[in-house]
Structure 1
């Protein structure tokens, strides 16, 4: 086992409501990215442990299925705790078996909702390395994102499916803008500086003799700005993007021929501005793993 996955958030909702949304399979599978389907198996006796089946769709027609059971729930001083174990015999799954708990701590008008779990992996040392570098951070992120999606569902009535589509849409905008900025900085300015960019800079007489240095600096700055767009989610950065692109459009007045050239930068800049405008106009909150606590206080 590696470092345990821990996620904590505070949700403004009655503890009974939060319990229902996390303990009912048809509700749980709607907000938890880690599971595509969850179903309870019938009990022979009321006091028996609750066994369940789960399935996670990976894509390309591939899914991971497993089984688990809730082997204890308790309430003490108003704090509820639900413990469970899970596992799968499916060789494709990196996770072999694991266990963890959910805890519900009343806090005024809300509930501090937290989880901690750990698991054993397959594939020996290679599996442990893959888990430490990729899989466990991904599981932690998916858990935290899901907790925040549940928080938005209970507090603001935003369904997790809507949150997921919005998250993908805004992520796609950031990725496309970042790639465009990095391409424009790398290819025409650093790798192929004679593609026409040097000629545009030479239009400004006060830069005479410094064209190459200016072009290199601009290329590096555009790559850095692209990485900044990729890593940051704030709207202020997209306001800056709009201002920079507008400035680039106006700078083209020094060489009016570019406005009529085929595949000219004007159309590219307008398309990039439209993407940032769509990002800025999105007003509903989007789930983020960063909104959750990822390390236990004690």
Structure 2
């Protein structure tokens, strides 16, 4: 799989399963989707669904997919797999597949995903995906996983954690802007005083670095808390093959 994200969540397996497999809960914490709805299907068939992502206030990209899950596996592990595609001409993502794996550990669940997709738009799409879209998708997946972790472990709702993230980002930007403004003001007052001006610029850079590199608040989701490289070679679950034949 092209993208991999893993985290450990101190929560009950049933709670985590419900918040990831129920569309109304899933769309609350996953930054990649605005809407997720199940579509009608016959008993015993894999579940079909529709997803949508609001790219801009006036532009929503939608697609459909098919999913299936296994709740009872050896060792208490669970897994779900999906295939998805978007016919929207403005969607860089044409089609793809992936899985979620739920592995019980001593104090919770090791929750991980692997997925890949085929971009459209030819060579331009391939380049845009490699340079921009794929790194952004990896970050959004990891950020969303940590958002889910905060919801399960600390009871911080996805809406609240997003508000905390926006407030923290604004505070960091304000600190950087303030530092730069102070340095510019000192330099403008007496540019001939190089020691004072140099000290002001150095102090501004130091403050900006602290604002940008300080660790996130424990209440704020952070992609950096998730593992982004598989610790060992991983195999796709067999249930994914079943979906390919559906």
Same fold (TM over 0.5): yes
Seen in structure 2, the aligned counterparts of structure 1 residues 35 and 184 have a Cα distance that, compared at 3 Å, is: same
2:224 matches 1:293? no
The answer as to whether partners of 2:50 and 2:63 remain within 8 angstroms in 1 is yes
1:291 is displaced (CA, Å) by 1.2
Which of 158, 174, 177 in structure 2 is aligned with 1:176? 174
Q: Is the 8 A contact 1:73 1:81 kept in 2?
A: yes
**2:69–2:78 CA contact under 8 A, matched in 1:** no
The match for 2:53 is: 56
Which residue of 2 is the match for residue 73 of structure 1? 70
1:10 aligns with 2:3: no
Gaps of 5+ in 1: 199-209, 236-283
Other structure's SS at 1:153 match: helix
Give the CA deviation at 1:88. Answer: 0.3
Paired residue for 1:165?
163
Instruction: List per-residue Cα deviations over 1:57-97 (Å, max 9, x = no partner).
Output: 12231111111111453643121111101110101111111
For 1:167, what is the secondary structure of its paired residue? helix
Structure 1 position 130, deviation (Å): 1.5
* Residues 188 and 197, structure 1, Cα contact 8 Å, conserved in 2: no
User: TM-score of the superposition, structure 1-length normalised?
Assistant: 0.72
Q: Is 1:196 the counterpart of 2:193 in the alignment?
A: no
**1:215 counterpart (193, 197, 211):** 197
Cross-structure match for 2:236: none
Task: Give the TM-score normalised by the residue count of structure 2.
Answer: 0.87
1:108 and 2:106 aligned: yes
Residue 240 of structure 2: aligned partner = none
Deviation at 1:182, TM superposition (A): 2.4
Contact 1:37 1:56 in 2 (8 A): yes
The more displaced of 211-220 and 166-175 is 211-220
Distance 1:43 1:234 in 2: 43
Larger Rg: 1
Whole-angstrom CA distance in 2 between matches of 1:183 and 1:93: 40
Q: How many residues align structurally? A: 231
For 1:13, what is the secondary structure of its paired residue?
Answer: coil
1:156 to 2:154 alignment: yes
1:233 aligns with 2:215: yes
**4+ runs deviating over 6 angstroms:** none
The runs of 5 or more residues in structure 2 that have no matched partner are 233-246
- For residues 216 and 114 of structure 2, the distance between their equivalents in structure 1, rounded to whole angstroms, comes to 30
1:161–1:107 Cα change, 3 Å: same
Instruction: Provide the rounded CA distance (Å) in 2 between the counterparts of 1:61 and 1:89.
Output: 18
Question: In the TM superposition, what whole-angstrom CA distance separates every residue of 1:168-199 from its partner, at most 9, and x where no partner exists?
Answer: 011111012112212433x445xxx4x3144x
User: CA contact under 8 A between 1:14 and 1:109: conserved in structure 2?
Assistant: no
How far residue 122 of structure 1 moved from its aligned partner, in angstroms, is 1.3
Distance in 1 between the 2:194 and 2:46 partners? 72
Provide the secondary structure at the position in 2 that maps to 1:158: coil
SS at match of 1:33: coil
In the TM superposition, 1:100-139 aligns within 5 A as 100-139=98-137
Residue 220 to residue 123, structure 1, CA distance change in 2 (3 Å) = farther
CA distance in 2, matches of 1:197, 1:226: 22
- Structure 2 residue aligned with 1:42: 40
